[in-house]
């Protein structure tokens, strides 16, 4: 009887992914084996704290270089991202890419109650018809930010040559026919509170991350208290 063997590329990818996950764990960003309340109200066992993902420059540079290597064969004029963590990562990707692309970023906001991403005017002028753009994201959980970035590039006549990210939730179908490369492709189950097996076992619920999000929301309008 022969055991089913995995093809070596699959094994190599799995090993590489484990290394990347270990790196994220070392930054303190990745939490596992817990019983966690998500902002959606659902419960899960794993969580990524976005803000901590890019705190170690040597790790970020290493991860950025892996993304750059993956896209090395594609000529890239610019790397585009949005959000602070993705911007730090995109700098590292651009630095390591053989085309020596420039780095630009969009800003997230709301307009008429809808999420949107816009480019500063100075950057809009840099994107011309046919400009080759690599999109960089930290975490792709719904793909909605990526779709906004793709629309933005296409409206300006640019070409999205690919999408590189740190973490992609595999349950998400990206509405894109461009190559996507993720350092970690992983999903974790989420449960409604009434069907959660960990609630059933009486395991305490970690509400820390949701509390922190609520506390952070008004921070832009909070004035530091003068003693
Ligand atoms: Zn639960």
In the chain, domain spans: 9-205
Give the separation between CA 9 and CA 11, rounded to whole angstroms. Answer: 5
CATH of 9-205, one of 1.10.3720.10, 2.10.70.10, 3.40.50.2020, 3.40.50.300: 3.40.50.2020
Residues paired with 162 in a beta bridge: 134
Of the candidates 156, 182, 52, the residue with the CA atom closest to the CA atom of residue 104: 156
| Cα 53 to averaged position of ligand 1 atoms, centre (Å) | 25
Distance 170 CA to ligand 1 centre (A): 22
| Torsion sign across C-alpha atoms 50, 80, 77, 152 | positive
Ligand 1 mean position to 172 CA, how many Å?
Answer: 23
Q: How many angstroms separate the alpha carbon of residue 192 from the centre of ligand 1?
A: 7
Tell me, what's the pLDDT at 219? Answer: 47
138 CA → ligand 1 middle, Å: 27
C-beta separation of 27 from 48 below 8 A = no
pLDDT for 181: 92
The answer to whether 171 and 187 are in contact (CB under 8 A) is: yes
User: What pLDDT was estimated at residue 221?
Assistant: 47
- Give the three-class secondary structure for 186: coil
In order of 49, 64, 72, 176, the CA distances from 77 in angstroms are 31, 16, 12, 20
Taking the centre of ligand 1 as the mean of its atom positions, its distance from the CA of residue 19, in whole angstroms, is: 29
For residue 207, the CA-to-ligand 1 centroid distance in Å is 11
pLDDT per 10-residue tile (average), the chain, 227 residues: 70 86 89 91 90 93 96 97 96 98 94 90 94 95 88 95 90 76 88 96 94 67 52
């Amino acid at each position: 009887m022969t055991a089913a063997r995995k093809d070596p590329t699959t094994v190599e990818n799995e090993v590489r992914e484990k290394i990347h996950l270990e790196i994220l764990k070392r930054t303190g960003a990745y939490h596992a084996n817990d019983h966690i309340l998500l902002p959606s109200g659902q419960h899960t066992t794993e969580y990524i704290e976005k803000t901590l993902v890019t705190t170690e420059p040597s790790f970020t540079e290493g991860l950025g270089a892996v993304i750059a290597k993956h896209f090395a064969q594609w000529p890239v004029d610019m790397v585009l991202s949005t959000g602070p963590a993705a911007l730090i990562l995109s700098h590292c990707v651009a630095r390591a890419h053989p085309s020596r692309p420039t780095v630009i970023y969009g800003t997230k906001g709301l307009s008429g109650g809808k999420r949107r991403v816009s480019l500063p005017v100075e950057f809009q002028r840099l994107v011309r018809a046919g400009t080759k753009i690599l999109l960089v994201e930290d975490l792709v959980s719904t793909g909605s930010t990526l779709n906004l970035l793709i629309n933005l590039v296409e409206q300006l006549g640019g070409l999205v040559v690919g999408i590189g990210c740190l973490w992609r939730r595999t349950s998400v179908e990206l509405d894109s026919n461009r190559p996507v490369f993720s350092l970690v492709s992983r999903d974790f189950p989420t449960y409604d509170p009434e069907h959660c097996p960990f609630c059933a076992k009486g395991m305490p619920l970690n509400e820390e991350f949701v509390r922190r999000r609520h506390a952070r929301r008004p921070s832009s309008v909070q004035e530091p208290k003068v003693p």
